[in-house]
Structure 1
Amino acid sequence: MIRKPHALALAIILAGTLGHAGTSLAATSHDHGHGEGAPSLQLDAGKRWATDAPLRQAMGTINDDMRQALPAIHEDRLPAARYGELAETVRGQVAYMVENCKLSAEADAQLHLIIAQLLAGADAMSGAPAGQRDGAVTVVGALGDYATYFADDSFKPLEH
C-alpha cells in the first residue's frame, strides 16, 4: 500500500497542480532523504514482490504504449508530440497505481523506486526534444526493473 502522505502529495502533483517541476520533485523525493545510502531495488528474500490487479493493469498499459512506440523511438523518428502523449500515459497510470494499489509496505517501498524512474522518464519525454529519447529509455528501464523485481506473469518485457 502506498503511504497516504505520499499518495496525496503524488496525486496532487500528478493532477498538474504543481506542473512538471513538481513532478520532477516527486520523482526525486522517493529516496526519502537517504543521500548516498539511497535504497536500491531488491528482491523479497530472493523472490519477486507480489503485485495486485491495479498495479498489473497500470504497468501493462504503460508497457503496451511503449511497445507500440518502440520501433519509432529506435529509429529516432518518433514525433515530439507522441513523446508527450507517452509521458501523459505514464503519469496517468502512475496516478492510477497510487490511488488503487494495495501492496505490503516493503513491496510499496520497492514500487516507489520504479515510480521515481517512470516519472523522471515522463518528465524528460515531455521536455525539450533533445532529451525526449533519453526519457523513453528511462521508462523502458523502469519497465525492465518491474519485470525483474515484481511477480506479474501477464507482463511481457519489452525487447529492444
Structure 2
Amino acid sequence: MKSPLSLVLAAALTLPVAAFAANPAGHDHGNAAPQKIQLNAGKKWHIDAPLRQGMSAMQVAVNGTLPLAHAGKAQAADYDAFGAEISKQVAYIVENCKLEPQADAQLHIVIGEILQGVDAAQGKEGDKARASGVVKVAKALNAYGAHFDHAGWKPVQLPH
C-alpha cells in the first residue's frame, strides 16, 4: 500500500503544479492562504533513507545549476536538465518515501514549492523566470533542511 505522500504526490505530478502548491494537502476549507511549514513540537521531522537520497540529489543539482543561473551563463538546456533531474528525484521520493502522516503533510509543502520552481526553471513562466525557478527550488531545499532531520545537510548558498 502506498503512503499518503505517494498518493498525493503522484496525483500532483499529473495536475498543474500551481494547484498543488496552493493546496498541497488536496483540500481547502475556505482558506486561500499558503500553508507554512512547521517543526514537530520544536524539533525537526524524522526522515527515511529514500527522502534523504532524493533530497541530497536535488541539492547536488541546485548547487551545480545555481552558480550558472546567477552568473547569467545557464542556457535553456541547463535549465531543462535541471528540471528533469529535480522531477526525477521528486518521482523517486513519491515512489519510495514513507513518513508518518504529520511529517508527510509538512513535506507536501516543500514539494509544492520545489515543483513550482521546476516549472519556472523549465520556462513555463517565461524565459526570464528560469533563474528564479532554480532559486525557488534552493529556498525550498533550505526550508526542508531547517525542518527535517537530515544528518549532514548544508543549506544552499543563495546569491546576494
TM bucket normalised to smaller: 0.7 to 0.9
Name the counterpart of 1:120: 116
TM-score (norm 2): 0.86
1:81-160 aligned within 5 A: 81-127=77-123, 128-160=126-158
1:33 corresponds to which of 20, 28, 31: 28
Larger mean Cα displacement after TM superposition, 142-151 or 126-135: 126-135
Cα separation, 2, equivalents of 1:28 and 1:8: 16
- Using a 3 Å threshold, how does the CA distance of structure 1 residues 78 and 37 change in structure 2: closer, same or farther? closer
The answer to whether the 8 Å contact 1:121/1:136 transfers is: yes
- Determine if the alignment matches structure 1 residue 76 to structure 2 residue 72: yes
What is the aligned-residue RMSD (CA, Å)? 1.8
Q: How many residues align?
A: 152
Shift of the alpha carbon at 1:92?
1.0
Larger mean Cα displacement after TM superposition, 121-130 or 36-45: 36-45
- Determine if the alignment matches structure 1 residue 9 to structure 2 residue 11: yes
The answer to whether the 8 Å contact 2:6/2:95 transfers is: no
Percent identity over the alignment is: 36
* Consecutive unaligned residues in structure 2, runs of 5 or more: none
Shift of the alpha carbon at 1:141?
0.6
Shift of the alpha carbon at 1:37?
4.8
Shift of the alpha carbon at 1:151?
0.4
The answer to whether the 8 Å contact 1:26/1:116 transfers is: yes
Shift of the alpha carbon at 1:155?
2.1
Residue by residue over 1:66-97, the C-alpha shift from the partner in whole angstroms, topping out at 9 and shown as x without a partner, is 11122212212111111111111111111111
Higher helix share: 1
Cα separation, 2, equivalents of 1:71 and 1:4: 32
TM-score (norm 1): 0.86
* Consecutive unaligned residues in structure 1, runs of 5 or more: none
